[in-house]
Amino acid sequence: MNKLTIILSSFLILFAFQINFAQDDQEKSKQGKMNENKFRQMYDLLATPNSFRTAAGAPGHEYYQNTADYKMEIELDDHTQRITGKAEITYTNHSPNVLDYLWMQLDQNIREKGSISKEKDGGGFDPLMMPDGFVDKYMGEEFDGGFRINSVTKNGKPLPHKINWTMMRVDMGMPLQPGETFTFEIEWNYLVNNHVTNRARSGYEHFEEDGNNAYVIAQFFPRMAVYNDVEGWQNYQFWGNGEWALPFGNYEVDITVPADHIMEATGELQNRKKVFTKEMIGRYNNAKLSFDEPVLIVTPEEAEKAEKGFSEETKTWQWKAENVRDFAFATSRKFIYDAMNVKVGDREVMAISLYPKEGNPLWERWSTKAVAATLETYSKYTFDYPYHKAISVHAKNQGMEYPMICWNYGRPDAQGNYSDRVKFGMISVIIHEVGHNYFPMIVNSDERQWGWMDEGLNTFMQYLAEQEFGEKHPEAIKGYDKYPSRRGEPSQIVDYMKGDQDFISPIMSNPENVYQLGNNAYGKPATALNILRETIMGHELFDYAFKTYAQRWMFKHPTPDDFFRTMEDASAVDLDWFWRGWFYSTDYVDIGIKDVKTYIPTNTPTKEAKELLSQYGITDPENYPGTADAVYVLEIGSEDFDESMLTDNPLENAPKLNEYILDNFSEQERRNMEVPKYFYEIVFDKPGGLVMPIIVEYTYEDGTTEKVKYPVQVWRLNDQEVSKTLASDKKITKIVLDPDLETADVDLSNNTWPKEEGESEFEEFKNSRD
Amino acid sequence: MKIVIRFFFLVFPLMILLSSFDWHKFYVSVTNMEYKKEAKSIQIITKVFADDFEDILKLRFSEDVILSPESETKNANQLIEKYINAKFQLAVDDEKKQLNYLGKKYKHDQIHLFIEVLNVEEFSRVQVSNLILTDLFDDQKNLIHFKKDGKTKSAVTLKSDPKALLKFK
């Protein structure tokens, strides 16, 4: 036992007494309570594990998921922007339950005339309106999207069905038994919306100058809903915020468009020789050999020429996709097309971009490279990208994801100029949307219920991929020391978390019922995961657990519980306090330094010690056998303190401690001991509701610093205030809490001792002007 | 016919506001205000998304406004000041205060606007009306934090509810 430990243990005993003493002092008649400890386990919040989903967070031995296979013929009329389709759908019931009916999703019905989604928000009249706005809101012609279901049949015979807004029940005639399949046919059509004026996740953009349309099409067919062990049928209506829950399946889709269109879609192209020119096929084969630069398959000159064609002929593109949860396509005669090969593990994947000339010179430069970099980073942290291609399509002002294909914004001005903001906005959105292939296209969470499960995890991964993109392409971030990521760093979420509690919801909320979906489903969960990785778990433990989650639930349907459980199960880090605080509450982090006291050791009982001991009947501690040799700490500046006690030899005031050391340690051992001169007690308080590790940087008088991280468990027994002691032979001149801004502490004014007001952003700006 | 054309060009951007969807961009601004007792001033930093802010200046003033550190429109600061004065108001104990726009800083995809209010004596109530960017987006949300004597009060203003009253006793 060394001296330091002796002294520290006496500290601890004394402080422990003080805490008890202080608590005894309070009112005696407090009521009892349920367990409110911030570290209590989450039994009250998590579903009971079962044979479908285990307590470890993995699929159980009876885990099942149903599948939906589609064979479709789709035709696009470019003159009227109408899509007409017919589908043969095969639904397979792998569940152990009998299904009385099927539910399908009719997402386009959110845009039908008189759709109730337009009335989902409250609020009165605007205090003043421009005449144009008034006309548009109250007098304009309403766009009539929405599916026209022409027929629902089985072997040509009509099937009873009931449309309830964005959901349709199909009655099969007889219940679907476990293990059985049901095949039926649907015919439908709908009017495609202009996604620029009538913003949506799918639609067309019209180019006034050349009269062309660029289509980015999704939710274009009635899609099967998910039936599973947690929701039954997931048929929560589509109100606009909560995206989709979709079963996996195989697709065969034939899409007929004007003959001069260029198309990309989910799935493998089956008739490349028919729809590509010979030249295009040659260039495509070259692209397969290019691993560092994209190869043009349709050149800008060819695309500009095609813009003027307006062919009245049609061409059918045939696509086949296996094990995807959805299908989307993009088509236009305006598209330039480039591609390159990316090595992902032992697989080769084509990174592809489609863009009209309006996207250049930005798109030819960065789109395909951003796709490639995304696949590399995401594959490293999750699993090797399992599909054969990933496509980024230019759309004016939306970013939206589908299996293998996504739409992204980022457009230079008419002269082809673009700012860094437009460039980084574009690269970031491409990384984000391509990244969605992993969450939720493959790790297929229920977006309708939990927006954060794909957006939060993906935004977290986006941050890692952006940073790695910057490292891979230093020429892209010229002028910056690293890629300027918008979300992920803890300080960036502070403005949200410190806000008016009336406008903040827990992450564990349905996307329809939150005030700020961007912060709620993207920013906060991404930041929370970043904090877990950087500060709570460390890279190695976090990355292993995160990868375990991704691989366990790849091509399956995970729930939040499965994620929370896996992260703990694979790391041996108890995180219940973290999930409860960050995901189930709107609490925020605010830890402060309340007080710093300096002590010296002494054998003379202090006033506080005497008072304390007298409670236990010890009135003369110096002569009481149990306490005769006790060491006490005396606060500098207190009543019993005298300046003369501050000597070069700190043991002068504690002769008995000195004797103890002489009696118990050899000369050699004593030589190796440092005799601390200063004994500090630092009191941390916690105005914020979240518990977090206390990260402290101590600066000593000689300018050296020491960073100490007290584990979050220090808050176990007292959620308000906690003290830490420190012995040092050097004087502490400064203490800073969370010096690297790792914890999203919302108030930094209580983070330093002695209290110092740094130059605020405002003053810094004002002074720089003068 | 003229009316129809006007309708088309002016309503076109406004139609964007009427949709109920959005995906990866969410319309939020944050305004941090702090009362400085000794200086008798209120220091304000408003953070807005640069592309949205550029869009609204384009719509209101001139199509060729560019807000970017690389190539900024010459009169950008004048236009910003004009816009702020139109959309942002502050009263201290019921007395309307003049906002002095000092300038701006580009930060990633945001712009930080620096605004100062002078000659502010001790007070107990602040009324803020913040309609910034609500003319571009119906669902724009403006977060407000006001710090005084070490305490922060927060609010959110919306197009349909632009005013916030913050009380300090």
Domains in chain A, start-ordered, CATH in brackets?
A: 3-16+590-753 (no CATH), 40-63+482-573 (no CATH), 67-117+132-449 (2.60.40.1730)
Pairwise CA distance, residues A182 & A174, whole Å: 10
B19 to A498: CB separation less than 8 angstroms, yes or no: no
The stretch A459-468 carries a mean pLDDT of 96
Pairwise CA distance, residues A137 & A564, whole Å: 45
3-state secondary structure of A272: helix
Residue B2 belongs to a domain: no
User: What per-residue confidence (pLDDT) applies to A135?
Assistant: 55
- Which residue out of A107, A125, A141, A197 would a mutagenesis test of the B interface target, given it has the greatest number of B Cβ atoms within 10 Å? A197
Biggest CA–CA distance in chain A, Å, is 109
Point out the residue among B7, B116, B161 whose CB comes nearest to the CB of A132: B7
Point out the residue among A239, A240, A762 whose CB comes nearest to the CB of B45: A762
Identify which of A118, A226, A107 has the alpha carbon closest to the alpha carbon of residue A167: A107
Residue B7 belongs to a domain: no
Give the A:B interface size as CB pairs under 8 Å. Answer: 136
Give the tens place of pLDDT for each residue, A16-27. 344 444 445 555
Pairwise CA distance, residues A567 & A552, whole Å: 12
Residue B6 belongs to a domain: no
DSSP A583: I
Point out the residue among A199, A485, A498 whose CB comes nearest to the CB of B21: A199
User: What per-residue confidence (pLDDT) applies to A140?
Assistant: 63
User: 3-state SS of A45-76?
Assistant: CCCCCCCCECCCCCECCCCCCCEEEEEEEEEE
Helix ranges (DSSP H) in chain B: 2-18, 50-60, 76-87
User: What per-residue confidence (pLDDT) applies to B90?
Assistant: 96
User: What per-residue confidence (pLDDT) applies to B18?
Assistant: 30
B47 to A495: CB separation less than 8 angstroms, yes or no: yes
Give the tens place of pLDDT for each residue, A264-298. 999 999 999 999 999 999 999 999 999 999 999 99
Query: Per the structure, how many domains does chain B have?
Result: 1
User: What per-residue confidence (pLDDT) applies to B25?
Assistant: 63
User: What per-residue confidence (pLDDT) applies to B71?
Assistant: 84
The band of A143, judged by pLDDT with boundaries at 50, 70 and 90, is confident
Give the tens place of pLDDT for each residue, A632-678. 888 988 888 888 888 777 788 888 888 888 999 998 988 888 778 88
Looking at every residue in chain A, the average pLDDT score rounds to 91
DSSP B23: -
Query: H or E segment at B85?
Result: helix B76-87
Point out the residue among B23, B45, B145 whose CB comes nearest to the CB of A498: B145
Point out the residue among B7, B20, B161 whose CB comes nearest to the CB of A117: B20
Query: A349 vs chain B: nearest CA distance in angstroms?
Result: 26
Q: Which two tokens stand for residue A549?
A: 């989650």
Residue B139 belongs to a domain: yes
Identify which of B138, B129, B24 has the alpha carbon closest to the alpha carbon of residue A120: B138
The stretch A322-338 carries a mean pLDDT of 98
Question: With contact defined as beta carbons under 8 Å apart, do B128 and B48 qualify?
Answer: no
Query: B82 vs chain A: nearest CA distance in angstroms?
Result: 19
Residue B14 belongs to a domain: no
Residue B5 belongs to a domain: no
Q: Which residue of A has its CA nearest to B166?
A: A500
Query: B95 vs chain A: nearest CA distance in angstroms?
Result: 22
Residue B42 belongs to a domain: yes
Which residues in chain B have their CB less than 8 angstroms from residue A400's CB? 23-24
**Burial group, residue B151, by CB count within 10 angstroms (0-12, 13-18, 19+):** exposed
The band of B2, judged by pLDDT with boundaries at 50, 70 and 90, is very low
Count of residues for chain B? 169
Q: Which two tokens stand for residue A377?
A: 């980073």
Which residues in chain B have their CB less than 8 angstroms from residue A766's CB? 102, 114, 116
A763 to B43: CB separation less than 8 angstroms, yes or no: yes
User: Sheet containing A632-635: which strands, arranged edge to edge?
Assistant: A632-635, A592-602, A678-685, A721-728
Point out the residue among A200, A761, A769 whose CB comes nearest to the CB of B21: A200
- Which residue out of A120, A142, A765, A769 would a mutagenesis test of the B interface target, given it has the greatest number of B Cβ atoms within 10 Å? A765
The stretch A621-640 carries a mean pLDDT of 85
Structural domain boundaries enclosing B35: 19-167
Give the tens place of pLDDT for each residue, A37-94. 999 999 999 999 999 999 999 999 999 999 999 999 999 999 999 999 999 999 999 9
Residue B114 belongs to a domain: yes
Which residues in chain A have their CB less than 8 angstroms from residue B150's CB? 749
Which residues in chain B have their CB less than 8 angstroms from residue A484's CB? 108-109
The stretch B84-109 carries a mean pLDDT of 94
The stretch A223-238 carries a mean pLDDT of 98
Pairwise CA distance, residues A138 & A70, whole Å: 41
* A704 vs B109: which has the higher pLDDT: A704
